[in-house]
Chains A and B, each alone.
Chain A
Amino acid sequence: MLAMILKEFRQVRRDRRTLAMLIVMPVVLLLVFGYAASFDVDEIPTIVVGTQAEMVSERLPGIFRVETVDVAGDRDELESELIAGVAHVGFAAEGEEITALIDGSELFMAQAAVRVISGASGQQPGLSYEILFNPDLDTSAVLIPGLAGLIIVFVGTLVTSMSVVREREAGTLEQLAVMPLKPKDVFIGKIAPYFLIASLDIVLVLLIGTVLFDVPFNGSVVPLAIGAVMFLFVALGVGVLISSVSENQAQAIQLALMTTLPQIMLSGIIFPLSSMAPGVRWIGYLLPLTYFNLVAKGAMVRGAGLIDLAAPLGLLAVLGMGIFGLAVIRFARQLRPARARVSA
């Protein structure tokens, strides 16, 4: 038995990647997720409009971080700003009436806002609140758009990386390299089925979400579709990049998990980005799922349009072009490492 234990230790010691997974990763994950795992809301981006906007903004509790005060603004403008995601709470202060509009797509901020406003309504006559987009503050309405992104990550990154590595393990990638096929054709041919399957998965998840779990679809399908396609390019690109540095399928799975776990925890799907410690929040802003989640939630729950979502869509496009471009280059290099002279 001792011989068996020693043999196993030797094997683990020589598999450096697994060793790193076993020792370094738990520490890193605990530190990162420990700082990220928080539902506490310290501040909520807020806009105040209406004739009494100046006065109201001065009296607001500290949790409401006032971004804009617009005495000429009205409720319609406020709603537009909330749809665009500029702020998550808006106060419309006209005469004696103060109406707080709360963005229900940001679950924890909305719950915190409701708590604070309910507590203050006894001291401030005329104060009322209204929850927009997700009036019952349903968790599924907030989670399911992000889950669609997770499915893209799973199919795009994990399955694609394994598929390319499997091709290399079987020696068939060499076959493809020798065939008179352009690397671009091989690359597109390789990822196209996963692109279609992941697209179908997204449609299914969102259909099931809206039909079974009553997730609202308040906006247009166009920004969501554009965001999904761009995010899919990122996920597929990451999958191909992982395959290019993995010698076998086990390594590909390890690496895919290493890239998927932080996306689940730090992209704002589970824990709000604003609640995370600044030391780990920046990681969330580097993750493509963060921006897909913003697009999906914005388009579905808040009914945001293309212009409202221009920033996350733009960032997804930049990430998509960068990662996908790098994946194409790496893949082409794998297929054509040498330039031997070809005699006709």
Chain B
Amino acid sequence: MTWGARDVSVLYAGRPALVEVTVDLRPGQIAIVVGGDGAGKTTLCRSVVGLEAVAGGRVSRPARTCFQPETSGVWPELTVMENLEFVARGYALDRSHARSRIAELLEVTDLADARDRPGRQLSGGMRQKLGVAMAVLSEPELLVLDEPTTGLDPVSRLELWSFIDLSARQGRAVLVTSTYLDEATRADVVTVLDEGRVLTSGSVAEIISEMPGRIFVSDRKIGMQSWRRGASWRAWSETGDPIPGAREVEPDLTDVVTVAALAGEQR
């Protein structure tokens, strides 16, 4: 069973926000869409859950799809418990089942002690965890999380990813968007978006192995197709020819995405 977006295009006021984007979503897998601001991540999420009309292509999703918007989707005036109870009622969960499910999620997300605290008084990490808990409460087949880790501290990000991992292990298809490239390694499938277009997609290993050319490292800038990483410079040889004064390194995901962006600019 595969859901997701196939060749989806979305227009905003006649301008393309997504151009023929394909993302496959499978049960038990985490698909991550990585990109900067304005890349089209939120538009893609909204299209997948049916909040955005698509101009072309096809979107499919299971009936039980849950969505956490970028803003966390938590009602700020309601307490943690009231937020969860409202969602349980919204999805018409059996009362006793909802009670046990809420208790379980409060435990997993470490929010049990904050159950009576209003949403607006939660820290960013707690609010996002509550948002994800609200999204998984009804045990959806597809979970769509729009930038759940943006703005969180490293510890909160780790905790949230553990929770997302758990959701996938429980058999859910998960679509996550992020601005952090390092989070891509946690997903089964990665799609890199830039200005509404797919730069590259596949598993991390596939993306790296399919990169055209070779990567070199040097202590100075070499040519136009080079970029700083830490104290050294990386350079891309499109043809694979050695670059004098530089030594070859194994590319990682950051290199591949940079190369994809450079290749996109050339086109």
How many residues of A are in contact with the other chain, CB < 8 A? 21
Chain B 29-61, CB within 8 Å of chain A: the 1/0 string?
A: 000000000000000001111111110001111
| Most B Cβ at <10 Å: residue of A169, A175, A339, A342 | A175
Contact A180 B69 (CB under 8 A): no
Is B67 in contact with A337, judged by CB distance below 8 angstroms? no
B91 touches A175 (CB 8 A): no
Across the interface, do B59 and A175 meet the contact criterion of CB distance under 8 Å?
no
Closest residue of A by beta carbon distance from B1:
A343
**Of A171, A176, A178, A338, which is within 8 A of B66 by CB?**
A178
Q: Is the CB of B53 within 8 A of A338?
A: yes
Q: Which residues of B contact A174 (CB under 8 A)?
A: 46, 51, 67, 69, 73
Contact A178 B49 (CB under 8 A): yes
Residue of A with least CB distance to B68: A175
Contact status A180-B76, CB under 8 Å: no
Tally of A-B residue pairs with Cβ under 8 A? Answer: 78
Given A171-B70, A175-B73, A339 contacting B50 (CB threshold 8 A)? yes
Residues 76-90 of chain B, each 1 if its beta carbon lies under 8 Å from chain A, else 0: 100000000001001
Indicate with 1 or 0, residue by residue over B86-100, a CB within 8 angstroms of chain A CB atoms: 010011100000000
Given the known interface contacts A171-B69, A172-B73, A179-B91, the answer about A338 and B47 at a Cβ–Cβ threshold of 8 Å is: yes
Q: In the complex, what's the smallest C-beta–C-beta distance from B187 to chain A, in angstroms?
A: 22
A342 surroundings in chain B (CB, below 8 A) = 50, 60-63
A344–B141 Cα distance when bound, in Å, is 10
Contacts of A178 in B (CB 8 A): 49-51, 65-67
Shortest Cβ distance from residue B58 to the other chain A in the assembled complex, whole angstroms: 7
Distance, CA A179 to CA B70, complexed state (A): 16
Bound Cα distance A343, B62 (Å):
5
Q: Judge whether A336 is part of the interface by a CB distance below 8 angstroms.
A: yes
Least CB distance from A38 to B in Å reads: 46
- Tell me the A157-185 residues at the B interface (CB within 8 Å): 169-172, 174-181
Question: Measured between C-beta atoms, what is the minimum distance from A172 to chain B in Å?
Answer: 5
Q: Does A340 contact B (CB under 8 A)?
A: yes
Closest to B53 in A: A338
A115 at the interface (CB under 8 A from B): no
Q: Which of A297-344 contact B (CB under 8 A)?
A: 336-344
Alpha-carbon separation in the docked complex, A338 to B65 (Å): 15
In the complex, what residues of A have CB within 8 A of residue B54's CB? 338, 340
Contact partners of A339 in chain B: CB under 8 A = 50, 53
A338 and B50 form a contact (CB under 8 A) = yes
A295 to B54, CA, bound (A): 48
B184-219 at interface with A (beta carbon < 8 Å): none
Residues A344 and B53 in contact in the complex (CB < 8 Å), given A170-B71, A170-B75: no
Q: How far is the CB of A184 from chain B (nearest CB, A)?
A: 14
Contact B51 A344 (CB under 8 A): no
Residues of A within 8 A of B63 (CB): 342, 344
**Which residues of B pack against A, CB within 8 Å?**
1, 3, 46-54, 58-63, 65-67, 69-76, 87, 90-92, 134
Task: Using CB atoms and an 8 Å cutoff, list the residues of chain A in contact with chain B.
Answer: 169-172, 174-181, 336-344
Instruction: Please list the 9 inter-chain residue pairs (A to B) with the smallest Cβ-Cβ separation, ordered nearest first.
Output: A171-B71, A171-B69, A340-B59, A179-B90, A338-B53, A340-B50, A175-B73, A178-B67, A174-B69
Other than the given A175-B67, A339-B50, 4 more pairs (CB < 8 A) read: A174-B69, A180-B92, A340-B54, A342-B61
For this complex, 22 residue pairs linking A to B, each with C-beta atoms less than 8 Å apart, are: A170-B75, A171-B73, A174-B46, A174-B51, A174-B69, A174-B73, A175-B87, A175-B134, A176-B90, A178-B65, A180-B91, A336-B50, A337-B51, A338-B47, A340-B54, A340-B59, A340-B60, A341-B60, A342-B50, A342-B63, A343-B60, A344-B62
